Structure 1
């Protein structure tokens, strides 16, 4: 199945902007992906700079850690408040405005004289996150033929995966060598380049012509199938992210890898992310529901297998790469699943799904951390992760067989 992304009018408009949608899509998707890369860096690079940030701004490590959690939580109002304010504008102009927010937030973070300004910069940057990926996903789908829409969304998210593969380790290295502020100045420059790319390469399209009035769009999010799809996103991705967050101490203290090996193992995980994103997009193009079902079955198996072989270096490395591949391969299908059930509210639903990813991350990390604090050890995040993804799988099965109601679409 394919996305319920912008309809024929929007697609025709995009193609009318140049010599054809297929010829214009490549550069436009590259510009969108660069924006996703910058946003991915902003969200995750701070995790590798907490010591430097806390020392420079005069706060504790735990206080500096709030810069991570605050960003994730601020994505939610950004998705559900900022996005509705912008989605009646042409998508290109909405994304330009969101990237301006992103740049301002990172400039504030780089300049910040104290923790309060740094915190504010993180919040401002986060407000752009949900809208960029939400509006960007719908725009990306409108630039290609219906059979390629999931792959186009995967191209948008490719920037996020590259940020994890190369950007975060590189950003942490830059921050450690020449100061953490330099890392945020570089991210600000990337934002400017992405903004210029959007202006130059992304065609102007009109807002989705079939959107419902805003009040009815929010009611569309309350449809049982849409809510179930958003909850599935949170559970499946949250389970994976909870495991990944605590992978570094697991690899060092249980598997026995030296500290010098961890960056290379994380690159291996990132390669899995990148491959899974591409393959997941292709699978979702063919049949999104089947792709999500198969991957949701595979993910808890991979998570529990990683737990089982955690004391063995080579199998752990292989399972780490598989965790990245299977976990991130679910993203295009999960996005497609939400959009398909939210007819008339595609942009808002897309942004809400990004919020669900972040809420799921918070839930997964919180449960995994609680299990460790209760004394269950560094293997316990695999158990909490498998439970979350297992519940998500159950929801997928139930909603596939659930009779649809008027106004809903078959899953």
Structure 2
């Protein structure tokens, strides 16, 4: 595996830490900025909005740029946004830096995916995407608690400085390992990218990404409160149980990366079915701590096992126009990240209780399985012959 693929995973870890760490910093930020905790929580929503919009917009705007230039530009803006966020005394400026940082982070995700796919043979695409996406898993496991620890002892601004420093280091590593001229042959054109998007099966794959992600996030977003309030697990044990979720996520994405290239669709069926079963089991056994602890580990394992296949599969449906496809798939992930917790919040506000979030996750998982099945239906030509579905990808 080329070193540059690991470097891209490191860069995702650095930026993904910023995405995750606010969950542990809201009380300190609220007190320092003079706003309520819910208002401070809107900084998380600001990041989600920036991620949702940034990937396709920047994919088009930087389409003719070499991948190396685009990656470095996105990282430079990300570093500047976090320096500004660490220095600002006002909530408004901080809110703006969160949107800007997420905007370029989404662009980085899209170009990093296309770059990683272009650096490896077709037989290793899933593994490469497992490494790149693994950076976000590490951000969940290590970045979130370390950011929280910094905020508790040195103030929330220290966490922003740490992310800026990590991202600057990642920028140097990208400059050293990602070569110029990553786009081969004729410069890509927007109309070619748009033409590649006009495939129903591709949009079904995007729907699978959004639904599977939402199925995981609707439960994960309320997992801490669920464990403490519904299962009766002591508060001091909750971080340890959440660490089990992180360990399961790391195992899942590692195994998924090894299987995604040869058995993408079976992996999706197995992973999403497992996610549905675990979500339903959580809803049914929340009153018992022992099964809940095991199920939290399995939730991370099944939820993340599908990520490499969700990412690499879309490239097998295009003809050498990967950038906008990768960007739209990134946005699909963020649709799930945004919609899942929102649906869970609606259920909790309606008084349905924590089991309802797991049931929603199971329902979204079933819908995701339906989109996988629909995507497998082979179209036939007028003579009744099956259309060839062999992947044809040429990525510069």
TM-score by length of 1: 0.90
Name the structure 2 match of 1:293: 269
- Structure 1 distance, partners of 2:229, 2:198, is 44
Name the structure 2 match of 1:333: 309
Gaps of 5+ in 2: 392-396
Please list the CA deviations of residues 5-60 of structure 1 after superposition, one character each: whole Å capped at 9, or x if unmatched: xxxxxxxxxxxxxxxxx5xx0x3222211110011111110111111111111111
Please list the CA deviations of residues 194-249 of structure 1 after superposition, one character each: whole Å capped at 9, or x if unmatched: 00111112233431547762034234324211111111110111110110000011
Give the total of aligned pairs. Answer: 387
- Structure 2 distance, partners of 1:90, 1:342, is 20
| 1:179 pairs with 2:150 | no
- Structure 2 distance, partners of 1:269, 1:200, is 34
Tell whether the 8 Å contact from 1:175 to 1:181 is kept in structure 2 after alignment. yes
Name the structure 2 match of 1:313: 289
What SS does structure 1 have at the residue aligned with 2:334? Answer: helix
Of 5, 8, 12, which residue of structure 2 is paired with 1:36? 12
- Structure 1 distance, partners of 2:371, 2:49, is 24
Map 1:3-14 → 2, pairs under 5 A? none
- Structure 2 distance, partners of 1:142, 1:239, is 30
Tell whether the 8 Å contact from 2:268 to 2:306 is kept in structure 1 after alignment. yes
Name the structure 1 match of 2:326: 350
Map 1:76-115 → 2, pairs under 5 A? 76-115=52-91
- Structure 2 distance, partners of 1:57, 1:204, is 43
Name the structure 2 match of 1:137: 113
- Structure 2 distance, partners of 1:261, 1:209, is 55
Could you tell me how far 1:171 is from its partner in structure 2? 0.6
What SS does structure 2 have at the residue aligned with 1:160? Answer: helix
| 1:365 pairs with 2:338 | no
Name the structure 1 match of 2:216: 240
Map 1:37-76 → 2, pairs under 5 A? 37-76=13-52
TM-score by length of 2: 0.93
Name the structure 1 match of 2:190: 214
What SS does structure 1 have at the residue aligned with 2:261? Answer: helix
What SS does structure 1 have at the residue aligned with 2:64? Answer: coil
Tell whether the 8 Å contact from 1:239 to 1:364 is kept in structure 2 after alignment. yes
Tell whether the 8 Å contact from 2:64 to 2:189 is kept in structure 1 after alignment. no
Could you tell me how far 1:265 is from its partner in structure 2? 1.3
Name the structure 2 match of 1:5: none
Name the structure 1 match of 2:394: none
Could you tell me how far 1:120 is from its partner in structure 2? 1.0
- Structure 1 distance, partners of 2:387, 2:74, is 32
What SS does structure 1 have at the residue aligned with 2:371? Answer: helix
Of 372, 375, 379, which residue of structure 2 is paired with 1:399? 375
- Structure 2 distance, partners of 1:367, 1:297, is 20
Gaps of 5+ in 1: 1-21
Please list the CA deviations of residues 332-368 of structure 1 after superposition, one character each: whole Å capped at 9, or x if unmatched: 1111222222333211111111111111111111111
Structure 1 402/70 Cα, relative in aligned 2: closer, same or farther at 3 Å? farther
Could you tell me how far 1:144 is from its partner in structure 2? 2.3
Tell whether the 8 Å contact from 1:98 to 1:131 is kept in structure 2 after alignment. yes
| 1:251 pairs with 2:251 | no
Of 225, 228, 239, which residue of structure 2 is paired with 1:263? 239
Could you tell me how far 1:106 is from its partner in structure 2? 1.1
Tell whether the 8 Å contact from 1:150 to 1:285 is kept in structure 2 after alignment. yes
- Structure 2 distance, partners of 1:103, 1:404, is 50
* Greater displacement, 82-91 / 97-106: 82-91
Of 190, 198, 206, which residue of structure 1 is paired with 2:174? 198
Tell whether the 8 Å contact from 2:129 to 2:312 is kept in structure 1 after alignment. no
Could you tell me how far 1:175 is from its partner in structure 2? 0.3
**Runs of 4+ in structure 1 displaced over 6 angstroms?**
404-408
